[in-house]
């Protein structure tokens, strides 16, 4: 009888742990989705403000500039945080031109898939 009760208690504990983990992952997913929504809204506002300030700038040019700025912000953040793992990123002017080209090509490819 005691072994049966102990087994049932362990089963209940495992079920509760699994339920807690599932709920935690669901909340993490919601947090990530909310974060991405906020990023998209911020990008939309930035693009609108930039296009108002720089007449004739296309949405694509603005997006490329924003993505390149985010790249530099990422490098800055990695440099300021002493707890990061070492990563190697291209940083020469030619590599940055190539990076912008890759981003542009990815956006164009994504747009052609939508069409």
d(CA 94, CA 110): 24
Q: Are residues 9 and 33 in the same domain?
A: yes
pLDDT at 85 over 80: no
- In tens, the pLDDT along 50-76 reads 888 888 888 788 877 888 888 888 878
Q: Report the chain's terminal Cα–Cα distance, integer Å.
A: 66
Position 84 scores a pLDDT of: 67
Domain of residue 108, residue span: 58-115
DSSP 16-57: HHHHHHHHHHHHHHHHHHHHHHHHHHHHHHHHHHHHHHSTT-
Q: Are residues 4 and 15 in the same domain?
A: yes
pTM: 0.48
pLDDT at 111 over 90: no
How many independent structural domains does the chain possess?
A: 2
């Amino acid at each position: 009888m005691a072994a049966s009760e102990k087994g049932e208690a362990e089963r209940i504990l495992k079920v509760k742990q699994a339920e807690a983990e599932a709920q935690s992952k669901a909340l993490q997913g919601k947090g990530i989705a909310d974060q991405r929504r906020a990023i998209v809204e911020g990008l939309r506002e930035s693009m609108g403000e930039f296009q108002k300030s720089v007449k004739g700038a296309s949405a694509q040019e603005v997006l490329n500039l924003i993505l390149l700025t985010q790249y530099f912000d990422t490098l800055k953040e990695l440099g300021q945080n002493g707890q990061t793992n070492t990563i190697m990123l291209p940083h020469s002017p030619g590599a940055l031109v190539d990076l912008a080209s890759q981003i542009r090509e990815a956006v164009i490819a994504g747009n052609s898939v939508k069409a």
